[in-house]
Structure 1
Amino acid sequence: MPGRFISLEGGEGVGKSTQAALLATVLRERGLDVVETREPGGSPGAEAIRALLLQGEAERWTARTEALLFAAARADHVARTIRPALAAGRWVVCDRFLDSSLAYQGGADGLGDEAIRALHAIGSEGLLPDRTLLLALPEAQAVAREAARDAGRPDRFGARDPAYHARVAAGFRRLADAESERWRIVDASGAAEAVTERLAAAVGEWL
């Protein structure tokens, strides 16, 4: 069986990290060799850049600087973790990938898709997931989850205002609508186990 690349996307508080871990567990239970990873991060170099991106004040970096840092982290992640895993026939489950840059820097920050995709073409040779799962949750529920998780200490992105996060959510929906063959929108409400079942069903044709 060939390796598959699955990314989980969505705004703050929708449960991506939790669900990436649970989905990886389900896939392993079905006999698959799974690499569980995240962005920014997923390789030593990318993890170093992650600290730069997530720590500090919300306005620490300009949108253009953020886009360049994310692209650099992703390039290392792809070269050192994702492509080797796929070449070995392993499955990769990634908490965020290119589409987060498109929704945040490209959409909410106004840089546009073309600039973000150009950076991705240079850094990561245009690699895309086989399936992108968008975790959808009403804004009020996402805010409550985020507040509970961070206990008043959100990272640079979580600290941004509601209008910014609304633009991010709209960006993800736009991307999903434009590329429906790759994307699946998954209801992220309810018990974690129920959400994981929905995610597994969204890649069910490969299992």
Structure 2
Amino acid sequence: MSYSVIGSPGAAVCVSILLVFLPGVSSQHQEDVRNSFELSARAADKQVGSSDDYAKWFNIFKTTLLNLHWFSQQDGFEQEVKGLVFDSLDVSKSDRELLIRAFNSLQKNEENRDALKLFNECVLDKVNQDAIGSLLFLGGGSYHGKFQLAVCSERNDALVVSTSYVHFRVHGAQYSGVLYSDGKVDTKTTLSTHVFGLNDEPYRKVRDSIKKKLVDSGVSEQTPVAGL
């Protein structure tokens, strides 16, 4: 399985996380992000199980990530989203545009079928396909789920990941062109943005053991997003 080379933008799905790599992120750092974030997400999935306790899920995810020699640069406050999830992300305009492009490619490109399936099955399996595609959650059924949208950058060999954790719950009504109009859709979508950095020196010592844990788990799956 091949991923983007250094200097080129790229994207991948790991469990329920859509990772976007900005130009300049090295191939090694892309692998480090994918492995660290997948291991942390799977640890959270295992401990939370079928529970919808998203706060517990993210706390386990974050704790696991910090134990893998990542560190927290910024803890975002939780906010309720009333419109497009993408519009609420605490990232630059150019980074947001690349993330949207990655999501659109994930949706529209046949090559991404496996990646989309992974994204859906891991966390969004109860969400209507159209709702996933637009990230609007406009009703028409009872949906709930959680996922992350992450932007990875690198400057002077320092790796930074800005990750937006989204949890949503929609109890349906008829589709409406105006989001949540007239109180017809009982919904709550929350978003929390966090920024993580990687301690390269100590991580280098555990890099191989992290890869081995994923392989030995028998469930590891990371799929690149084609079409960027």
User: Structure 2 length normalisation: TM-score?
Assistant: 0.31
More strand by share: 2
User: Structure 1 length normalisation: TM-score?
Assistant: 0.33
